[in-house]
Amino acid sequence: MALHRLLEMEIGVPDPARLDDFYREIGFTGGHGSWGAADQPGQIKVVEAPYRQLRSVRLGCEHEADLAATAARLDGLGVKYQSGGGRLKVTDPINAWDLVVEPAAPFDVSPQPVRAMNRPGERNRLGARAEVVTEATPRPPRRLGHLVVGTPKPVETIRFFTEGIGYRVSDTIGGGIAAFLRCSPDHHNMLVAPGAVPYLNHYALEHDDFDAVMRAATLYLRAHGDEANLAGPGRHQIGGNIFWYMLDPSGNIFEYFADMDRIVDDEAWVPRDDWDPSDSWSIWGDKDQPEVFFQPADMQQIIDGWARAHS
């Protein structure tokens, strides 16, 4: 497995200071446009931009030899890139996102104590209140886990990320017009889906468990109102993760998630392409995916901003 980590994403928004306040509020560490969890700082970079957008993604590979393999694949696709200084940089020729690949050490977030739970026939919490009731402060997000992008050329984009960059396909929907891709053992670190122009649909922050997702989302919505609530709670069928989707102050959709499928044997995993788009959103909770995921409130601003930047 050459690619094994999602290291960082950079997003652009008109008012980066609003996101500084947001990431501080939800428990990330950092400041001045660089944020992340305590043991993986700086995973999210924020810069000023005329409209809301994804600017770059940085990925970790295993060895320097993987950079040469990536370069050879890009040569085969006829895509130009820059290589040197222990990294490879390429601009997505379809969507203008910058991709950086560099060697990085294997990493997973540090384990936290597993909450004791009482289940039928397995009573683990005896004479004690539930930890989520007694904890002094809620558990913060642990890392940036994945992002979802829209593009007017999804099939070509999927090919670029798989045949060029080295992502693996976990599952596809819509006859292959959308694909869940991974650059780590997570079921997906990226979903590529159709969009009017290239844009960031949402990004996802992993929490420890069900209670952490539910409590963090509840506290956020109590502070920011129902207008920040989009979808959840639920459990996706594709990827298997618990989810809750909300809006950050810049209009980005963000997801709290936990308990995603993990793929440690690429050869043994068989991608499915027969998911029913009308019944693959959530195994419980709301059955249908809200329309805002296909048509964000600021979509016209993004379309206009893309047109001005690329005319």
Whole-angstrom distance, CA of residue 54 vs CA of residue 150: 10
Convert the pLDDT of each residue in 90-107 to its tens digit: 999 999 999 999 999 999
Q: Which two tokens stand for residue 9?
A: 């994403």
Q: Where do runs of H (alpha helix) occur along the chain? A: 16-26, 64-77, 131-134, 154-159, 210-224, 299-309
Three-state DSSP at 274 gives coil
- Predicted TM-score (pTM) above 0.85: yes
Task: Give the residue-averaged pLDDT of 207-213.
Answer: 97
User: Structure tokens of 284?
Assistant: 């419980």
pLDDT 10s digits, 54-85: 999 999 999 999 999 999 999 999 999 999 99
Average pLDDT of the residues of the chain: 96
Mean pLDDT, residues 7-29 taken together: 98
Task: Round to whole Å and give the CA distance between 126 and 211.
Answer: 19
pLDDT score for 277: 85
As a whole number, mean pLDDT of residues 174-193 equals: 97
What pLDDT is recorded for position 1?
61
Phi, psi of 143, deg, nearest 5: -175, 165
CB 249 within 8 A of CB 205: no
Query: What is the pLDDT, as a whole number, of residue 242?
Result: 98
- Contact between residue 202 and residue 298 where contact means Cβ atoms under 8 Å apart: no
pLDDT score of 50 more than 80: yes
What domains are defined for the chain? 3-107+140-304 (3.10.180.10)
Query: What six digits make up the tokens of 252?
Result: 């980005």
pLDDT tens, 263-298?
999 999 999 999 998 889 999 999 999 999 999 999
